[in-house]
Each structure stands twice: as structure tokens, then as C-alpha cells.
Structure 1
Amino acid sequence: MSSISDSHQLEKRAVPWKLCTICKEKLIFKSPREFTRHLRDFHCTKEGGSYVCRYGLNDVCPSLPVEGVSDRDYEDHIARDHVCNQPGLDGRFKGFNHMSVQPRPIAVPPNMANSEPSVVQDQHRWTVFNASVNLPAALNDPRLIKRETDFFSKTWGQDFYEKTYIPPSPFLPDIEKFHFDKYLHRTAGRLKKHQKHLQGPSQLEEQETFLTKAVKQTEKNRAELEQIPKLFMNPNFNLENPETFNAVFPWTQVEESRVDNSGIRHSSKLLQEKLSHYLDVVEVQIARQISMRSEAFFVTMTSHDRLQEKMKATLGSIKHLRDKIHALDELMARGSLRVLKYAKAKANHVKLYKMLKLMATVHQTQPTIQTLLSTNEFVGALDLIATTQEVLSQELAGIHSFRHLGSQLAELAKVIDIMMQEDFLKYVSSELNRPVTDTVPLTDEERLVAVLFGMLRLQRLDFIELYREEAFTAMKAVVKQTVIEAVLAAEDIDTEDNTGRLADHMRRLNYNQWMQLVMDLFSNYLVILNRAKAFHGIASDVIGIAAGKTKALTPVTSTTEDAMNSSEQATHLNVSVAEEVDVMLTTDSFNKATASLREMLYSIGDHAHDRCVKVMNARAKDGFLERLSSAEFVALSREVEKFVTDCECICGRRSMSLRGSLQSQANRIVNRFHDERRNKLSLILDNERWKPADVPTEFQILVDHISNTGKLSLPEKKTDPERKPGEFLMVDEQRFAVVGTVLMLLKIIVEYCQIVDDIPSVAPDLLTRLIDLLKIFNSRTCQLVLGAGALELVGLKTISTKNLALASRCLQLVVYFMPRLKKHFEGKLISKSMNMLKYFDQILKDYKDHIDEISNKLVTIMESMVHAQLSKWEVKAPMPSPCFRAVCKQMSKLHEAVIGILPEEQIKVLFIRINKTFKRLLREQLVKLNVTNDGGPQHGLVTSDLAFYAGSFKTLRGLEGLANEVNDAWEKR
């Protein structure tokens, strides 16, 4: 009690580690460890590897040196001076380190030495599991601005890394003794009772007393029973055993009885007394035990009697219950069970009957399949085989008599597959090879539908490829048959000579016969394509029905109901199909089959075009197509275009092989046509003498037709014998003096435009070639006239002004028709080729430049003549001077040369330029001669010449007032 009171008084004293006297916030600590950690975190500084305590006034500890101590000395200082600084507590906290109390060492088993710390044994011991910061986290802290200087001199531990003090949670209250007052008050009564029990005799002592008495009595009984030999206590004691008998009755006593009878009686008596003694001891023990358990024996016997009585009553009840149950069993259970037994037997009999009936039906499978195959019911036969195989594998599994039927049905399915393929090929061959005069697209539709459903039932989609191959074969035969018929129909071909190939005989056909062959071939191919289109429609409907995408046409469903019930109705089938058709194809298979059918139709159309291309190439080997006229080629182009359009309507896709072949032939024709016209134009230009030519009637009619219709096309040939050739070409009330070459060029241009109208596909090619032809005419005209090439070619003595004016007028004629030519091609070119129209603008500019060059040439000729005359001019009488007379004569000759060729407007513009040139040269000559308009004699002479010069223009038509003003010839002063 004294120790308890002392500890209570100690607790009442003020404990130093309970409160920090330095911090403004009054923190209360629960243990010295928390107080020590607080001093280390907030009242300690580290300088290098030394610790300086700052727990005191002005951050100076009165008991620790200022220079600092080690980590261990710092811990001892806190425990000694700040935690245990009261008398009587030094010994209690002596050696205080990281823990407030050093626990008593506990022995650790060897197998637990390296294991994790024990909660019970090691709860006060610091281990690596108590570390709050690991070394990599401390080294890689991104919040540190720079490394600490004492980093490598620190001691590793829980205080190695600085951390912010986290105050205790305000949500965790401090537990004091008054919190347990209610509990102590409630358990005070039980505590008193417990203490009272502790003060009285314990049950253990009473139990020990009872056990002591029982042990003493047992020891006493054991001492008495030990007198009896162990042999009699053996559970297997039996005197019939010789060893046991000899042990109870020794042989020595028996042998001694033979010697001395008195001894026998004595020893037997002793043995009898000994055994009697043993019996008495046993009986006494038994009696004692019985006496001790007499009450239990009495209760047992009484209970035994009662038990016997209850057992008799129970047996009676059981017997009565059994009798009653037996009666109930006979009355209620056995009859019902017999009913159930009979019902089960009936069900078994019905099941057996159905099984036998099913076996009989399966037994008739093969004859039924043969019957279905005889009527082309392939789908029904295959369904029957599949159903029978399913029945054999499920309901009739294990039936010995049907063990071979499954394999037989599988072989039969393979035979049906082969039969369907053969039947399909036979049908397709006969269908495609029918005479082309038979215009019915499809015959025997029921047979085709039956075969298609059968092949789809086996997931055989290769029938599409088979049909395509058969169609290719049929097309090859159609070509051969058509050519043979065309050759035989030609009367001028000897068909008795069969040594040549069929293509050689075909080349002997003339244009009309060959065109008839082409039209017949196109017609026959359209028949084949229509048959393929009909097959495509039937196959599409069958595939749609097999995939559940299309509703089949049934004999009991009206058209109105079909339109109401389904948006996708079979549009090609003309035969009725069962209303409920099993879905045989998946969506992927349906899409694949539909795409294959579409590609089949495309490929058949492409093959038809390829075959036609081969026929045309075979006929074109001898240059037949290149020799065709434009009208003939146009007729061929129209037939080809019609066939291509019909094929596109049937197949749904435009094929380009035949059109491409025709395009290549058209390009060859264009090349030949262009080469002929270019050579013809070059030859005419080389022989052109550049003199005005009479305009034949046909050219004037051509120009009139263009003017009246506004189209560059050839007119219908009309003979007008009364109409004579004209001197000029009249174009929209304009007169053109032309040479024969430009007339031929004009006709060639119209022929180009006519070909463009007939064959629009060659418009880009013809445009470039026509531009090339126009460039040739322009460049050759420049070479022959301006370049004086005609002097050598045709033997002209000189290139006169009349030749130049005529060349300019011919170029003007071409320029006049250039906008119409551009407009004509603009309507024939496709949108992506419209940029080619810029070539017309370029060639138009070239022609205009050429015309300007000819005008400049005329001015240059007159300038050189005037310069030559004025250089010899002298201002003296008589007047007019010979120089001015010669100039006026040359002016008159020039006007006479161009007046019938160039229009008056161009002549006036030309002579205005010449007049300006004359005045310029005269002004220079007057300056050179030092003659001025000062009113002197020379001024009068010059004025007289100028008056003569101005008067000469009055005689020139259209130039009467051109030289009225001549005073500007004088140099201005």
C-alpha cells in the first residue's frame, strides 16, 4: 500500500516531459519519447555531424556545450537534463536512448532470429521496420534546393531526414481515469464478490481433500488385492489351459502325494485354504464395491424392470403399427404402384413402337432418296439424308442393324453432289448453246432452281465459276459460227478452199459484208448476255431465299400480300418455292455469293468485248480499218457505241476494251488522214505561184453553207452547171482574193471538223493535228513569201507587192474562220480537255503577227524606194522634179497592185503609214540640203513638188484626201 501511495504522489507532481515550456503553443506529450522527438525537431540544430541543444531561454541550453555533441551524447543529455531532471527518477530513466524504458531481454528462439520483429517481444526494440524514411527517398527529394553540408556525416536512423513536426490530432481525446469511473462503478459489486471468493477455502483444496480420501481407500484395496496372484486377475484365466492349471496346482504337490498320503492331505489343505482366502478377499472387495454402489444397482434394477415393461408395450405398439401399415400398404400404396407400373410399361411399349416405326421409316430412306433424285428434288434428298444421319446419331444410336447406314448415306450425298454438278453443267451448256434465234432468255427454270438449291444446300458456291467458264466457251463458239455464216453468205468468196484459216476468209469480206458480220456478232453476243443476265437474276433470288434475305413466291400468297409483308420480293423467279425454306447461307456467304454473281456478269460482258476486239484486230491486220472513209468509220463507231451501251445496260458496268480498240483504230485513221492532208498541203504550197486564182463553185458553196448554218461542215453535193467560178471568195459580203492553197486549206479544215462531229472521241487528237496543220501553212507561207523561198521552188523572178498582199489576204481568210473553228471544237471536247483551246489563241496570234509582218514588209519596200529617190533629189527646176515623179509613179503602182486584193480600209491604213514614212524621209533630206520654208526660191520649188505629190493621190481610189496636208514635212523651227 505504501508503494501504491508513493507512485500516486509521484504522478501528482509536475512531470518535465509533459509540457514544453519554450513553445508558445502549450503541447502536452503522452510519453518521454514524444517529448524527446519534439526537442530534436524544434529545439535542436545540426552543425556538421554535431547536435546543439536549443531548449532554454534565448535558444541556449544551460547544461550542454555550445559547440555541440554527437548523436548518442545528445540523446543522453535529453534523458538526463530535460526528461529526468527530478530526484528519484534518474535511475528509472538511466540509459534513456530512443526508447523511454529499456525492456527486459527476452530469449529468442534460434529459428526466429532472422524473422520479422515480434509484437510481444520486440515492441520496445528499434529495428529496420521502424524506419520512417528510406535512403533513396531521402537522396532523391526534389524539394531540397541544395545538398546539406552534413549529409555524409549524419548517423542513419529515423532522424536522418528532417521532417516537419505534425502535432497530435485534435480528434483523438486524451484518456484520463475519470473516463473509467462509470465502468468501475458498474463492476464494483462483481469485484467485491470476486475478492470474497478469493478469501474463502478454494474448490481446489476441497477437490484435493476428496481425492486424498479416494486415493487412500484405493491404496488400501490395492494392498489387499496384491495378495492375490496376478494369474487370477488375467482376463484369459482358464483352467483348461495346461500352463494355467499347473500354475494353480503345482506338479510337485501331485508327485509328493504318491510318496506320503499324510503330506498329500496337508498340502491339499493348505492349497484349499489359500484359494479360500483368495476367494474371501475377492468376495469382500466385491461386497464392498456393491455396498458402495448399492444405490446405483437398485436404481439400475428398478430401471431394468421398467424398461422391460416399456419394451413389451413398445413391441405391442410396433406390432399394431406394422399391421396397420401393412393394411394401408395393401389398400393405398400397392394398387397405385401397380397403376404406375402399368403406366410405365405402357410408355415403354409406346416408346418401343415409335422406335420400331422410326426404324421402319429409316429403312425406307434409300428408296425415298432414289425417288426424289428421279424428280430432281436434290434439296429434299439432301435434307432427308441429313435428317436420317441426325436420327441415327441420336434416337437410333447404338442400333446394330443400322451400323453401316450412316456411311452409306454419306457416300450417297457425295454421289448427289457429283450428279448436281453434272446436271448443272449439262443444263448450262444446253442453255447457252441454244440457237441465237431463240430469244427466250431462260428455259426449264424449275430444273435450274432445283439444282441451285441443291448446290447451296451443300454450300457449293463454285457453280458461279462453272457458269462463267461455260459462257466463255459459248461465246467462242458463237464467234466462230457467226464468221462461218458470214463467209458462206458472201457470194464473191470461194468457200470450197478450206485450206486457209477462218480469219483469212473473213479478211476477204468487203466493207458491207464485214459490217453485217459485226452487227450479227453484236446481236448474238447480246443474246448470250441476256441469257447470262436471266441466270444472274434467278441465281440472285435463289441465293437471297437461301439466306433468308428474299421472300419466295408461293402459290398461295398473293402479290398484294407479298408487297405488304416483305420489302424484298423475288423479282426474277417464275416458279413457286416452298413457303418455309431453311436458311442455308450465312450473311457472309450471301454477301460473297452476291459479289461473285455480280463479278461473273461483269466478266462475261468484258469477255464479249474482248472477243469483239479480237475479231476487229484480225480484220485490221491488212490495214482494212485504216482505209475506211470517215463515213464508214462513223457507221462502225455507231454500231460499237450501241453495242457498248446495250452491254452496259445488261451488265451494269461499262467495258472499255472494245471502245479502246476502236479508239486506237480511230487514232490510226486520224494519223493517216492527217498525214495525207499535211503532205497534200505541203505539195500545194511548194507549187503555189502566189497569184490570184479563180474560186471554184464548190468552194463558194462550202463558204456559203458555213455562213448560212454557222457550222463547219461539208454541204450536200449539188451540181450547178450554170454557175461559173468567181474572181473572189465572198464570205459574209467580204471579198477575199485568194490562192488555190488557202481554198484547199479551208476544205481540209472543214473535213477535220466533220471527223470531229462523226468521232467525238478523237477531238483532242484532231485538235492538236489541226493546229499543227495551221502552223505548217503559216510557217511555209512565211518561208515562201517573206523568205522568198518561192523564187527557187516555182521560179518566180521576184516577190512583188502583189504577192505579199495576196499572202496577207489568205492569212486573213484563215483568221476570219478561226473563232468558228474554236467554237466548234469547244462543243466536242470534254471538260478536262478544255485547256487545249488555248492553242487556238496562240495560232491566232501567230497569224496576226504574220499579217503585221507583211504590212511592215510593204512599208519597208516603199521606204527603201523613197529613200533611194530622195537621196538623188536636187531642189532645182524644172518642176515637178524627176525624183517626185518616180515616187508618185511607184505609189500608183503599189495602189494598183493591192487595190484588187486588200480591202480599202487596209489600203488606206497602209498608205497612211507610207505617207508618214515619206514625210519623215523628206524632212531629213530637207535638213540635209539646208532647205527651209523661209519663202525663198528653194522653198517655192519644194512646195511645187509637194503639190505634185499631193495631187497624185487624188487619182488613187480611196486615197483622194490622204496627202492634202504636206506642210508638216518641214522641220519645225
Structure 2
Amino acid sequence: MSNSHSLAGEIVEYTVETDRVCATHRHTQPRTATCRPTTPDIGGVEVEVECPSRCSHNAILETGPNAISTLLQPPIVRTGLAAHQHIASSGYKAPTTRDIPPVALTNITHVDTKAFHPYLAQVGSLYEAFQRARSESEAEGALFRREKDGKQQQQQGQQRPSYKRRTSGQHQRRPAVTPLSTIPAVYSEPDFHLENPRTFDIVSEQAELVREANGPANVATRKSLATNAILQEKLSWYMDTVEVHLIASISSASKSFFSALGSLHELHSDAADAIARIQKLRASLAKLDKDMAIDGLKVVNLKRRRRNVRKLAEAIMQLDDLVALVRQCDEMVACDEIDAALDDLDRAERLIAGSVDPGRKPSYEPRDLRNLQALEGAQSDLDGLRQRIGRGFEARFHRSLLNDIRSHVARTETSATLQRWGDAFTRAKPGQRRAPSVFPSYVDIGPALRADLEAALKGLTRARYSTPAATAFRAVVLREMKTLIRKRLPSSTDDDNVSTVSASTAGAGTARQTQMEKSSVLARNLRALDPDDWIQMLADIYANTSEALRRLSAQVKVLLDITSSLPDPPAARSPQQTSELASVDNATASPQQQRPTRPRATSTVQAEIQQALDLSSLLGEGVDLIQNQLTKVVRVRAQQNAELPLPDFLHYFTLNRLFADECEAISGQSGFGLKTAVDAQIKDFVAKHGDLVKQKLMARLDADRWDAKDFGPTEIAMLDHKVRPAMIDDNKFILPDSGAAILSAIESLEHLAAGIPSMSSEVAITLIDTLKLFNSRSSQLILGAGATRSAGLKNITTKHLALSSQALAFTLALVVPYVRDFFRRHLPASAAPTNNILAEFDNVRRRITEHQAALYEKLIEIMSSRAAVHVRSMKAIDWDTAPPTLVKETTTLQRVLAKHLPDNVVMAVMGPVFASYRQLWERGFGDVELRTDRAKERMLDDVRFLRDRISKLEGAGDLGDHLLRVVMEKEVLLG
């Protein structure tokens, strides 16, 4: 610590001595060098203070006699005596930190960089020149600095004493020019602010502003700023270093700077000379303008005024012609001369645009008058005339199309349309050549109609009214479709003799009916129509609307074909070229450009017509409108349609199906409303028709007396539709009326299923229910003896049983191989419903078979009971007479069965009967007691008679011989 204090004392003494030396040289030499103190390090202490010969130049050192720090030091310190010695002063007391008021730091205003942009723009060119000069003279500047540093070193060595105290033998040399890197980096920071305490502490090297007077003298924790000469010399050294580098930079750039400055002075003198000449020229021109130009300008203005007056007169003449043309055009439109009116209107528009027809040469030069304020409303008037003309052509256009549709509908027969639908619906069978179709009449567009449409479209194109006309045509066509339907409907008034047209035109003296009343009358008249009238009316409506839509489609295609060759309409208010400009253009055009251009494949008119009409959309709207109207008509007769006879309803259904296919072929959509209404009526008809078939079958079953009935032509014809030949699988049937009834029911339902394939499943279920009803009801009538009450039969005989069995056999022979296969072909392709229905047919067959077996058992039971009765009566028989009763009954049974049943069925029935005879008669003959030989002979005679008669019956076998042996073996009881 003692060494540190002694070293600090030595540094202070050298600093004071240096101040004195600098003070002696202050006014003799300029300040070019710095005082560089060196601080001690760990290895040794070396203090080097070099005071240049010119310590200051026009500057006062901070440690001078006027410095604040010097004034704050005690007097002994200012005289150069030892520091920190306490010398008594006469009444002077050094200020303390408490006596010094705090310094308020001033906020430095921040200046935006944009404020320097004008200045930088002015000195930018000079700065670029400076950069170029700096790069060129870098070598020369370095040489200049070396020479200058050498001279300074010589002067410092001659004039400035140096005080050095070395603790070591090492010698430190100073470079020629001190680099800027020796200056601390804190001075180069962009946010360098000395009022910042942190920055101030770094710059002042933690020095104190004022030291406390009563502090300990031997403790020096922080140096005083007022007495820190080394810090002051450092700051001076830093400023001298920057000054040397600035001088070097300025000296290197001074040559280009002053050359640029000289150039600026020359430019300034040239500009001043030019300004003086311009002022002199302006004075000369003003004198010349005053003497000559003003008078000449007056003459020019008068000539221009005369030309303007002439143009005004010609424009007035042009306006007069324009007014006359417009007036004439208006009169022609009023007289329906729209073709000539359109020509005059085009001439008027060309006249406004300053163009005239090539054959007309007016006495004036036409001019473009469209910008005149007086004609601002003229264009709207012309547009109004053009619109009136367009409506005239629109009326012609609509009239031509509607008249053609009406005439085509009138001359096309309904039968021809239905034949065309049938040909389109019917598919040719494999191997069968289809008849060549006739060319449809609706595509035949005559040349007269085409000429009328072409003329109307040209007029609409010129009138720029094609799009509104095409749009209005859509509504006109849809109204025409309603009219076609309304014409075929019955009258909507109470007087049925008055047609729809006459009813609409009449009524001048009668009160007008409300719409609700008309609808009610129309619905009543529709329900009152006969089936034939109803179907004929529907066929006419369907055929007429179909032909109208087909003709409309052909018309639209002809319209698009015509518009493809039409030129585009001239743009509204577009200026036309004069004849002179047109001739110039033709003269300068190339040969390829002079050739006439062909119309485009799709012209603007065609695009407008196609967009306005939109054939697919138009046909779709037409189909929807027609079907919506017809749906209302069809729903009115929903109940009557469900009660139509089967042929009429099938005709009605076929008509609707063909019309739906035609609508789908025309517009791509078959319609939903009409189809839904017809499907609902079909379901109602199938249900009601099935109930009607069942009712008729029940009535005929109940009224049947179960007698054999021959098939008439009607039944034979129905059977021919089912099987060929009339015999079913080589079997002949003798049927009662019930057999013909079930055949009629089957034929009716199969006809319905074939006519309406979509309802085949429902029809099949109805037929199955009908067969079940036939089986159960016939069982009730025969086996249950219900026929005795319903048909008035006395009793149920074997003939009735045999005929009932024949009816069941006939039903089985017809249903199983033919009806079931028929529905298998007509049922939908889905597997589950089809299999269920076919399984129901098998169930019906099983039930009928069981019914047949029950009938056979009933026959056997009857004959067995009769045989048992005869056996019981044998004991009371008088054997003196021959009893033919049993033989007669057996022969009658065999004859009835052979007549009504086939041989195999007869054998199936008689076999059990003969077996029963064998058992019963053998026991009966065994139980009879014979008391005389004569009685045995009579019994043998009866058995022989029985054998002779029964042996002729098929299935009897050896029954007679067996009974004869039993009687012969019988013994006679004597007594």
C-alpha cells in the first residue's frame, strides 16, 4: 500500500510539472501531439509523460488557472506544493457535495433521420466523388502521413522535454500515426450520451467530482476529477488523434472537393448568363407580339368563326333531315309498315353518327351529332321506335310459329301418333326384321315457314329485339300448351252442348261464373264421361301435346340454323365510318383482308336465341306444365278409373305409359306427378278388380248346381290362350260351371298382370287368394253340403263329388304347370318376393290335392256304408227272389265315375270299394244261416249274378269267384 501511495504522489508531481511546461509553450507552438501517461502494471511501473512543444493552440487546458477543478483545490495545491497538506486558510472553506446543487439533465431532442435527407441529397454527388478520390489517393495519403509524423517527431525531440521514470530497462516506441482503435469503444457507441451516469463514469474513470473536506487524507479510493491531470491528458490525446485522422482525410479529399466546387461555380455563371439571354429574348418577343401577332390573330379568329357558322348551318340542315326521317318512321310504325320503318330508323341513326347511304349525297357534309346536348333525348326516342318495331317483328315471329304448331296438330291424326308411339315402344323379336319407320311429319319444315322465320329473325336482329322475342316466345308456347289441353276438355258450364271456345266467347248477356264454379262443373262433366269418351279425350290430349312439343323442337332447331347465317347486329350508338375513310381503308388493306368474310359458325344472334330459348329447358317446362294439368284431370276421375272394365283400364294404362315414354324421349324426364297419380289408380284398380273377381267367383260357386256343363266358344277361346290344344296334358275334363268360373278368374288376372307388368306381384297375390277362396268354398259347398242351401240341391250325390273333383283336377292341371310358370316369367327379378309367391302357388297346389283326396275318401265312405247296409239286411232277405239292389248301386257308381272321372281316378276309387265289398260280403255271407238246400241254391244264384255283373267292372278282379267259393263252402243247417 505504501508503494502505491508513493507512486500516486510521483504521478501527481509529474502531472503538475507537465502543466507548467505546457503553460510556458502555450503561446509559442501549436498543439499537435498529446501527453500519454502510462499506468503501472503488475510487472513494474513505468510513467512516461511527453509534452509536445505546442501544448495548446487557441485552447485552455482543463488544469489551467481558470479551470474549475483548480479553483476548487486548496491554495497550497494550486501553488504546486505537496498534495493533501492541510494549510490554514484565511476564512476560506471549500464547498462540499451538499453545497453543490444537483444538475438537471437536459433531454436532448431526438432528430428524425428524414430531416437530413435534403442535405444528403445535395452532398450525395460530392460524397461519391470523395469516395473515389479516397480510394485513388489512399497510397498517397499514407505516404503523406508518414512524412508528417517524421517531421513531428523531429520537432518534438528538439523542443519538448520528456520526463521519464523507468523501473525497468524496456523501451517502448510510439507508432507514426496513432490508430483510432486506441480510443475507447464507448465514444463510438450510437447511444453515447455524457449525461448518462454510466457513460460518465466510464469516461471519467470513476473519478469524484468533489472530495469531502473532512475526509481522511491517506485514503484515496477514487481520484478527484478536478486534480486528475492524466484523465484530462487522455481526453486531449483522444481529440488530437481524431484531429490527425480528420486532417488526413480532408487533405486526401480536398483535391476532388475543390475541383467539384470549381465546377459548380462555372455552372452557376453559365446559368446566370442563360437567364440574362432569356430575359432579353422575352422582351423582344413581347414587342413583336404587340406589333404584329395580335392583329394577325384577330384575322384568324374571324376566319375560324366563319367556318363554325358554316358548320352550324350544315348541322341544322342535317338535323332537319333527321327530324323528317324520324317523323316518317313513326308514321310507318303506326301503319304497321315495320320493314320500311326499320330502314328509315337505320338511316336516322347513321345520319346522327355522321354517315349517309352511298347512293345519297346531301348538299352538306354530315357530321357526328351524338355529343350535342340538344340530342341527348333523341337516342331514347329512337330506342323507343326500335322497340316498337321489334314488337312488331315479335308478333310476326310468334304468329308464324304458333300457326305452324296449330296446323301441324290439326292435320296429325291421333291414331297416327299412337301408332308412332307403339312402333317406338315395341321391340323387334330375335330374328324378326323390324318394319322401316315412316319419316315423322313433325320434322318436315316447309320452305314458306322457313322464309317467314328468316324474315322475322332478320328484322328482330336489326331491331336488336331477338332476345326479348325469344324470351316471350317461351311464355307464349306454354300458354298454347294449356290451350291445347283446354280445347279437348268438356265444357266448364252447365250447358254440355256449348264448347269451351263458344263458352269463352259467349256470356255477353249471362253472368260470369267464378273460377271455383267452373272447376266444379268441369269436374262433374269429367266424371260423367263414358269410358270410351274418357279414353278418347285423353288420347287426343296426349297426342296433340306430344305433336306440339315435337314440332316445337323442330322449330327451335330451324331457328338456330337460320341464326347461324345471320350477321351480328350493329352495336348501339357506334360511330360509322364515312365514305372517304372507308375508301382509304379499302385502299390500304391487303388482298386477304379485302375478301368478304364468312359468317362465324356461332353468331351472336344464335348464341342469344339459344340462351333465351334453351331447348332442353323449354321442353322440360312444357312437359312439366302438361303433366301438371293432366294430373289434375286424372285425379278428378280417380274413382271412375278404378271401376273401369279390365280392357278399358288396360287401354288407359297403356296410353299413360306410352305418353310417359314420349315425354321422356322429348325432354329427358318422364314426370313425377302424373306417374304418381296413375300408379295410385293402378293399385286401387288391382285391389278392386281382385275383389270383383272374387265376388263373381263366389256368386257362380253358390249358384252352381254341379251339373256337367259343356265349354262354349268363350271358354274354349280362354282355354286356347292358356294351353294348346284344348286338352290339358292329354286329359279331358267334364266340368261344372265352377270350373268355367275359375278359368275366367284366372284369365282376367293373368290379362291384368300381362298388361301391367309393374303390378304382377300384387296380381299374383290376388290370384293366389282367389284360388284359395275357390278351394275352400267348393269344399264348403260339396263336402260341407252347403250347395243344398245355396243351390237348392236335395242331397250331395256321387256325381257332385265327381264333378267337384274334376273342377279341382282341372285347376291343378292349369295352375301348376302354366299359371305358375306365367307368373315366374312376369314377376320382377328380385329373388325374395318371387320365391315367396312361387312358394304360395305350391301351397295352393297342396291344399287342392288334399281337397281331392278328401273327395275320394268321401266316395269310398259312401259305398262302404252302402255295402254295410246291404250286409246287415242279408239276414232279412227272402232268398226265393233275386236281389239286384247292390249290383245296381255298384254299377251306377262305376258308370258315374267312368263318365266324369278319368280311368286312373276311377280305378283309384273303385279299388278301395271292391276291397270293402270283399271284406263286408264275406263276413255277411258267413253270418247268414241257410236251413234248406233251396235257400243255398238261391244264394248261389245271387252270387253268380253278382259275379257276372261285377266282373265286367274294372278293378273288381276275382271278387265274384271269391264270394262264390265262400257260399259254396257254406253248410246248410238242418232242423
Task: Give the TM-score normalised by structure 1.
Answer: 0.43
Greater relative contact order, per chain length (Cα 8 Å cut-off, separation 6+): 2
Task: Give the TM-score normalised by structure 2.
Answer: 0.43
